[in-house]
Amino acid sequence: MAIALLRCSMIAMIKKGSSRKGQRRRRGTTGSDWDDDVSSPTSAVAEEPVKLDLATTGILREIARIPAKLPELAPTTPRQTQDGESTWGGQHSVRQLSRIWAAFIGVIVVMFLAIAWVNRQVDPHEDNSPTVPGGFVVVSEDEHDDSPLYAFLQNSYQKQQKALAIFRLFTAATKRDQVIPLIRMTDTTPAMLEKYWQPWPSPPLLDQSDALQYEFEEADGRAFLRMTGKNQDGSSFAAFFVEVEGELTLDWEATLEVGDARLATLARNPTEHPVKMRVILTPSPYYLPYLPESEYESYQITSSRDETIVWGYVKRHSPTHEKIRAALLQDVQVLDQMTEARVTIRMQKTADISSQNRFFITEMLHKDWVMP
């Protein structure tokens, strides 16, 4: 800005001098006047000196202070201290970048080594094959080399896929003969099929893998796979699979909770002799005057195939009572009792004729619904 003001002042000065010379030329009509101006230029300047105002003087002083040559810009490379480190605000050196990358690579290597170490800590007896997406495997007991569950867990993923294929065919069957190659056969199976078999009531949702769950369990020396899910009508199902001579088959009786009678039928028409039933037992606080709590243990008996509810009573400290208590214990270390348990029992009508929904539990056949 100072330079611009200086230029304006000088232009004004030049214009001012030109105007005076023009006036002298217009006055000098004779030769003497022109000669005076030409011969004495210094006198003309002396007679009318150029005056600078204060602002122009200040600008000239400021210009005088400006150095003739501007200093060069500082180099962009960082300055180094005596120790060889970059000063604050400088760029990272190649050595520093190498250290950063080395630290990053070291962290990655340590992470992969940790993952490998954790994988090596996994029980070698545990099957690590992938599971069906959305499903999971639950092992209820610790498996060992001599355990039936250990042998059953070999190739667990393939067993899940095989079970899914068997159940798909079983639920799609429209005739009784179509299911015979798929199910576990016993001496009583043909009669039970003729009595109880019917087409599956609602198509199961087998293509929605997130709704399927798998559990590998063992009860009374028999390992089995239980697959649970939903039907299209919203009802639940639980399918049980066992190995027979190395081939996976559907335990049809366990899947349909087949017994000597339906629970609803037994409640309406109780028999005098004991009947075998696959039911769900739940501890109950319901007692009767002639069946007091001090002498009997009370259980609620239900079935997943109907909404019937009856009550069962067992003599305390009897062998049957001890087996039922063991079936309801999740962990013998802390004696944590389960809310319910799947059992196969024998039931018999109580002596009270007026009560049609009360039974004695005469025998505990085995835990769960899969027969040994």
Residue 11: phi and psi, rounded to 5, are -60, -40
| Mean pLDDT for all residues in the chain | 75
Q: 45-49, 106-110, 186-190, 361-365: which has the minimum mean pLDDT?
A: 45-49
Residue with tokens 């022109």: 34
CATH 2.40.50 applies to domain 263-367: yes
* 297 token code pair: 């243990």
Integer angstrom CA distances of residue 278 from 140, 148, 171, 242: 20, 23, 21, 17
Per-residue model confidence as pLDDT tens digits over 276-285 = 999 999 999 9
Judge whether residue 4 has pLDDT over 90.
Answer: no
pLDDT value for 53: 52
173: exposed, middle or buried (Cβ count in 10 Å: 0-12, 13-18, 19+): middle
Question: Residue 317's pLDDT is what?
Answer: 94
Once rounded to an integer, what is the mean pLDDT over residues 223-236? 93
Q: What percent of the chain has pLDDT over 70?
A: 63
Residue 81: is its pLDDT beyond 80? Answer: no
pLDDT band at 206 (very low <50, low <70, confident <90, very high): very high
pLDDT at 171: 95
Q: Return all residues near 44 (Cβ < 8 A) that are at least 6 apart.
A: 24, 37
Encode pLDDT of 89-136 as tens digits.
455 566 777 778 788 888 888 887 878 776 655 444 444 444 444 444
Give the whole-angstrom CA distance, residue 180 versus residue 298: 39
**Average pLDDT, stretch 224-249?**
93
Q: In the structure encoding, which two tokens stand for residue 105, read together?
A: 């690579």
Angle CA(357)–CA(306)–CA(347) in degrees, nearest 5? 40
280 in Cβ contact with 262 (< 8 Å): no
Summarised one tens digit per residue, pLDDT across range 261-301 is 889 989 888 888 899 999 999 999 989 888 899 999 999 99
| Predicted pLDDT at 25 | 42
Residue 2 has pLDDT above 80, yes or no: no
pLDDT tens track for 144-191: 556 788 878 888 899 999 999 999 999 999 999 999 999 999 888 888
Determine the pLDDT at residue 112.
79
Q: What is the rounded CA–CA span in Å between residue 132 and residue 160?
A: 8
pTM of the model: 0.60
Q: How far apart are CA 318 and CA 295, in angstroms?
A: 10
Helix (H, G, I), strand (E, B) or coil at 14: helix
pLDDT of residue 77 exceeding 80, the answer is no
Classified as helix, coil or strand, 219 is strand
Token pair for 48: 């009318």
